[in-house]
Structure 1
């Protein structure tokens, strides 16, 4: 159940109209790293977590709901940056007024030029927020990443928050409005907060590496191929011990010769690790059984319902209350 509060989460303000920056800000309204993408991604991911991971379901729904509120902040800011534009575009007799609002003929021509890059923004919407990015590319469901495995989805979410954060950083370089910068800084900071939430949630799922149930083949999981000619470069990604599996990196200096010598890697021996094929097979079976039992144990058999509701005047535990919030009905 969603309930809209008419006040914004953050007090968005602008100092003056700025149609050019309003167009840029569409990137976070309907773009691939914007607020709608984040809201829908976490919303969709939450469904599969409802039974096996009710705590993660709650977190994903909470953050998805907050992202919708951020979409509202972005849309409100775009609309304020376009103050007066929509009305002037509707008045056929006030061409001079729109020119004055935009700063004269040169500025108007600049806006027209921008509209050639994103014509929908002014021509179709008269300068109100629309679900496109700053170039006019429509929002697409292909932006959403949801794979049904929380160890995968939470990593996708950390990447989404990182990309959104850097877009806000770049956007701040294109405005000198202190109020707009204040809003962008708030939105950018919430990306940092959400990243940490997803990271913490991922750590409560153990094991979570590698993602999924199937284990990595120990013949290849610690092999680094030197695939370029020139000076040899070594670092913790190809020297020492790997970060997650704690295996010793095997640096293959001449991949062509190595592939030929191992019959296309088929005969590559296991080196630098105590993991074996038999051990990996056992871990896969045990983990698959554990994950399956987790889901099945949390999934009711037969008749099922998503939420439990209470009679008016009773809370879930039978104590008096207003009856407006039942179990699972917070955002269900």
Structure 2
């Protein structure tokens, strides 16, 4: 159940109208790395986590809800940056009004140029946020990544927060409004906070590398192919040991010759690692059983319901969380 509090989470302010920056800010309203994308991604991911990982369900729903509040902050900021535009556009009798608002002919021509790039903005919405990016491309459900495996989804979320953070950094380069910068700084900072939350949640799932369940083939997991000619670069990505599996990197200087000599890598031997085919098969089997049993044990079969309601003190029903149910059950014993 969502409950809307009419005050913003952060008190967004603007110094004055700025239609051009309002258009840029649409990137975080309806763009591929924006607040709606984040809210919907975490919201959708939460469903498959509800029973097997109720703590992660709580995390995803909390952050998804906060992202909706950030969408409201961005929308409110866009609206304030367009303050007066709607009324001026509707004043068909005096076209000079909009020119005055936009500080002269040059500013008006700039806005006309922006309108040509994104005709939905101003021309169709007449001064209100629309679910597009700054080029008028509509928001799309394909922006949402939800794979049903938390080790994958949480990594997608860490990447999503990183991309959103850098977009806010870039946006701050295009405004001199100190109030708008305060708002963007707050939103950028919350991306950093969410990054850490998802990272911490990922660490509670062990093992979590590689993502998913099946392990990597030890014949190929530590092989680096020198796939380009010219000056070569060496670093911890192709020499020494790999950061996750602790295997010794195998640097293949001549990939063509190596592929030919190993019959298209089919006959490549295991080198630089103590992982064997037998060990991999055992880990695959054990981890598959562990994760499967974990989910099955937490999943209700047959008749089911999403929430359990109890009567609150004011006479109204309220949902009771799995954690609360467990603690109350212990007390009743």
SS of the residue corresponding to residue 169 of structure 2 reads: helix
| TM-score normalised by structure 2 residue count | 0.95
Deviation at 1:328, TM superposition (A): 3.4
Aligned residue number for residue 316 of structure 1: none
State the distance in 2 between where 1:323 and 1:207 align: 43
The CA deviation string for residues 105-156 of structure 1, in whole angstroms up to 9 with x for no partner, is: 2211110011000010011101200000000000000000000000000000
Deviation at 1:3, TM superposition (A): 0.1
State the distance in 2 between where 1:142 and 1:48 align: 18
State the distance in 2 between where 1:220 and 1:45 align: 31
Kindly indicate whether the alpha-carbon contact (under 8 Å) linking 2:52 and 2:299 is maintained by their aligned counterparts in 1.
yes
Structural RMSD (CA):
1.3
Deviation at 1:11, TM superposition (A): 0.5
Deviation at 1:322, TM superposition (A): 5.6
Deviation at 1:201, TM superposition (A): 0.2
Where do 4+ consecutive residues of structure 1 move more than 2 Å? Answer: 321-326
Aligned residue number for residue 306 of structure 1: 306
State the distance in 2 between where 1:323 and 1:118 align: 48
Q: How many residues align?
A: 323
State the distance in 2 between where 1:245 and 1:101 align: 61
Where does the alignment leave 5 or more consecutive residues of structure 1 unmatched? 314-320
- 1:1-332 superposed matches below 5 A: 1-313=1-313, 323-328=316-321
The answer to which of 8-17 and 294-303 deviates more is: 294-303
SS of the residue corresponding to residue 211 of structure 2 reads: coil
State the distance in 2 between where 1:275 and 1:58 align: 37
The answer to which of 135-144 and 230-239 deviates more is: 230-239
State the distance in 1 between where 2:17 and 2:113 align: 18
Deviation at 1:323, TM superposition (A): 4.5
The answer to which of 108-117 and 89-98 deviates more is: 89-98
State the distance in 1 between where 2:100 and 2:156 align: 46
**Counterparts in 2 of 1:109 and 1:232: CA distance versus 1, 3 Å:** closer
The CA deviation string for residues 8-36 of structure 1, in whole angstroms up to 9 with x for no partner, is: 00000000100000000000000000000
Kindly indicate whether the alpha-carbon contact (under 8 Å) linking 2:48 and 2:148 is maintained by their aligned counterparts in 1.
yes
Deviation at 1:312, TM superposition (A): 4.3
The CA deviation string for residues 243-295 of structure 1, in whole angstroms up to 9 with x for no partner, is: 00010000101111100100000000000001011110111111111111111
Kindly indicate whether the alpha-carbon contact (under 8 Å) linking 2:311 and 2:318 is maintained by their aligned counterparts in 1.
no
The answer to which of 54-63 and 92-101 deviates more is: 92-101
Deviation at 1:326, TM superposition (A): 2.4
State the distance in 1 between where 2:171 and 2:110 align: 19
State the distance in 1 between where 2:62 and 2:100 align: 44
State the distance in 1 between where 2:229 and 2:118 align: 44
Deviation at 1:311, TM superposition (A): 2.4
State the distance in 2 between where 1:117 and 1:231 align: 42
Deviation at 1:42, TM superposition (A): 0.2
State the distance in 2 between where 1:52 and 1:121 align: 44
State the distance in 2 between where 1:94 and 1:40 align: 43
State the distance in 2 between where 1:301 and 1:78 align: 47
